[in-house]
Structure 1
């Protein structure tokens, strides 16, 4: 096994990332060593690059120089209880405290990974992990829908949005999406029944009555959504801190508020993701791929409005 690995680190230049050699990690008890092949970019990653999450970054640096990345697809290089060396796996570590994954190898708790089918490409697998899991949490735990129910997805062209669209359609819902004009045709190809371009149309219109509103960028609120929710309908935001008053208002309403911030996973949740992908309910949506040496371009792309799905980092250039 190599003694060093390629790793993405914070550059001495503020607001930049750099590639360096780092000591190869050694798995501890209950952990599996994984050779990371592909890892996606998320909001926390670009915020860390910008200097945020200082307390968490300080804790990450106690493990090593890598401070970004928390999902991946790769190959197990050590045995665990369930996982065997050579297995192709996906993983999602604890967002706030787990090891970072923008590196050639990572040691992860075996409970954070699952074996994927041999037929899957590692790019496709990496594109599904966190945002696919988030869609499953929304539509199988928070706000399940049945055939004929009406769903609105705000910010539908990003990873969470496109997977929520796919899963809602799999459940038989009528789905309206809000996205950029340039993504309208793509959203229809993904199954959207109706598309609203945010440049020219409001999120809500007179006469709307949705059973579920999924607000990915948290541009609205429970109060703003409630007049357009059916009785018993739910507003779902992806950041509970963005609308704390919604919890209180929903307690006195026939409409509901649900908020989701996924920080961890389980083997059962990963298996459910794999099962839904095998059924065709979730299909990988990849906007772009960048080599690790172009991480700054990848982070910039993630922040660009109008992207279509996930931004991936290929660990091997």
Structure 2
């Protein structure tokens, strides 16, 4: 009864396997969560490929689980807000929190919130980080008003699809960049125009966008700037690819931002759930894999034609 299944990743051979390890014991401020479903993220794929060496070293001190930081599950111990038996959604600190590709994890209570029964496990897991990231962009970094124009690069991925949904709900005119095979699906998320990247340029003469969201970090502020409106904003998922953008943006009206969220809080998670209940954010699920088939999940994540999130059922 004190053992659990967990995913162990071989960062040398880039493979994974399920092992049996002792169940963790929560310390002060932490709650034991029985994980139902998690998701695969870019960081997980990079860790499996041998990346994030300094973070992996820290994860190894805590145990063999090196991947997974967002989850839906059931609390098995009490906290100050959360009670045992409640279903919870959340994610751990990206750089130094526990990893959750395991049957159980001890998670800081500040990183989770209880969810209603109307939000199913897979739907909740599909929403967590990518939905929160889209909210961060569209509600904090650059809120849009009806009629404004938004370009979403990587619109068939998790962040991209939720950004399309959220921007469209605000009355913005959304142009989406994605694979031709996903064009119809992205249009169903609310895009006004879809440009398949195989056959059409990312930017066109005369484009003026109030927001350009580059989810896969394929563009740059310098490249995007001529196609921004006078006070437009360019947001990338990876600022390290374009550090000069922040310097250039400091000397003009056009702005550069980035969308990595290292940690969440109950208020942000509650906002995510509220937008789901209002029908604004609709979970996008590409595929669901059992943890015993995790390598297939990692490989699916790297497929450019996927639609939405790749999930792991624990």
TM-score scaled by length of structure 1? 0.98
Moved more, 170-179 or 250-259: 250-259
Name the structure 2 match of 1:187. Answer: 186
SS in 2 for 1:163: helix
Matched with 2:43 is 44
**Deviation for aligned residue 1:11:** 3.8
Shift of 1:56: 1.0
Q: What is the CA–CA distance in structure 1 between the aligned matches of 2:83 and 2:173, rounded to whole Å?
A: 42
Matched, 1:71 2:70: yes
CA-CA distance at 1:64 after TM superposition? 1.0
Partner of 1:285: 284
- Give yes or no for contact 2:11–2:49 (8 Å, CA) kept in 1: no
**Structure 2: gaps (5+ residues):** none
Matches of residues 56-95 of structure 1 in structure 2 within 5 Å? 56-95=55-94
**Distance (Å, rounded) in 2 between the aligned partners of 1:164 and 1:217:** 13
Q: Which moved more, 1:53-62 or 1:34-43?
A: 53-62
What's the CA shift string for 1:245-300, capped at 9, x where partnerless? 11111111221111121110011110111111111111100000000000000000
CA 1:263–1:204 in 2, change beyond 3 Å: closer, same or farther? same
In 2, distance between residues paired with 1:47 and 1:209?
34
Per the alignment, in what secondary structure is the counterpart of residue 271 of structure 1?
helix
How do residues 86-125 of structure 1 correspond to structure 2 at under 5 angstroms? 86-125=85-124
1:237-256 correspondence runs (5 A): 237-256=236-255
**Are positions 1:132 and 2:131 aligned together?**
yes
Report the counterpart of residue 169 of structure 2 in structure 1: 170
Deviation at 1:116, TM superposition (A): 0.8
Q: Distance in 2 between matches of 1:189 and 1:217?
A: 21
Contact 2:12 2:50 in 1 (8 A): no
Instruction: State how far apart, in whole Å, the 2-side matches of 1:239 and 1:168 are.
Output: 21
In structure 2, the partner of 1:257 is: 256
For the residues of structure 1 that align with 2:46 and 2:227, how far apart are their CA atoms?
A: 33
Question: Distance between the aligned counterparts of 2:228 and 2:54, measured in 1?
Answer: 39
Report the Cα offset of residue 55 of structure 1.
1.4
What is the RMSD computed on CA atoms of the aligned residues?
0.9
Distance 2:52 2:187 in 1: 37
Q: Which residue of 2 aligns with 1:294?
A: 293
Partner of 2:21, secondary structure, is strand
Change (3 A) 1:12 1:201: closer
Q: CA shift at 1:12, angstroms?
A: 8.3
3-state DSSP class of the match of 2:200?
Answer: coil
Corresponding position of 1:270: 269
TM-score (norm 2): 0.99
**SS of match in other structure, 2:242:** helix
Q: Is the 2:11–2:50 contact (alpha carbons within 8 Å) kept by the matching residues of 1? A: no
Instruction: State whether residues 33 and 75 of structure 2, in contact with CA within 8 Å, keep that contact through their aligned partners in structure 1.
Output: yes
Matches within 5 A, 1:176-215: 176-215=175-214
Whole-Å separation in 1 of the counterparts to 2:15 and 2:61? 20
Which runs of 5 or more residues in structure 1 are unaligned? none
